[in-house]
Amino acid sequence: MSEQSVSRRDILRTLAIGAAGGSVLQVIPVKAAEFAHQAVHNEKSASMAGKYAPKYFSAHQYEMLTNLCDTIIPRDETSGGAVEAGAPEFIDLLTSENEEFQVTLGGGLQWLDNTCTDRYSNLYLDCTPEQRKEILDLIAYRKNAKKDPSLSQGVAFFAYLRKFTCDGFYTSKIGIADLQYIGNTSLREFPGCPPLPEA
């Protein structure tokens, strides 16, 4: 193993330990986000096909992850979505170096497939769009786990994935552009908040 890959792995492992206190990010520290995006970019640039090879998730799980990220933040007329921003690659890379992420996300994807098999006799990706929406609507709200404790793992998984997807999206070039963040730029005047629409 090369010295570069060892240092890269050590950096990822250190950065992916958990959320930094006071970070605007919900799952990981901002330095980990920057490093992960750069590492994914470098790998894609070095690849003959220009693609990222998943480090932790199986091909099936990675396809599920990509589908879920796209559902959480789809592209729209003004911006690319989570997939275009590289959120699946970002999540996979950091998950490959963090056991807590592996348990939460890997276990959650397994739970989702098992639950879809029980309910619809199909794995999640083989379900109809209506069935996928139905199961995601169930696990998107914590109140549903109070009514049906069998949904608890799914609700916890989806909440975590939603936060991680947002972290991956809003630390990417696409996500930062979507926020219209201009950085430390002086303004002649501060326009303030837009007026509230009248009811």
Question: Cα–Cα distance between 90 and 38 in angstroms, integer?
Answer: 10
**Mean pLDDT value across the chain:** 84
197 versus 79: the higher-pLDDT residue is: 79
Q: Are 106 and 84 in contact (CB under 8 A)?
A: no
What's the distance, Cα to Cα, between the start and end of the chain in Å?
A: 64
Share of the chain above pLDDT 70, in %: 83
Question: Cα–Cα distance between 40 and 26 in angstroms, integer?
Answer: 20
120 versus 190: the higher-pLDDT residue is: 120
Domain edges within the chain? 3-179
Q: What is the pLDDT of residues 147-197, one digit of tens each?
A: 999 999 999 999 999 999 988 898 888 887 887 776 777 777 777 787 887
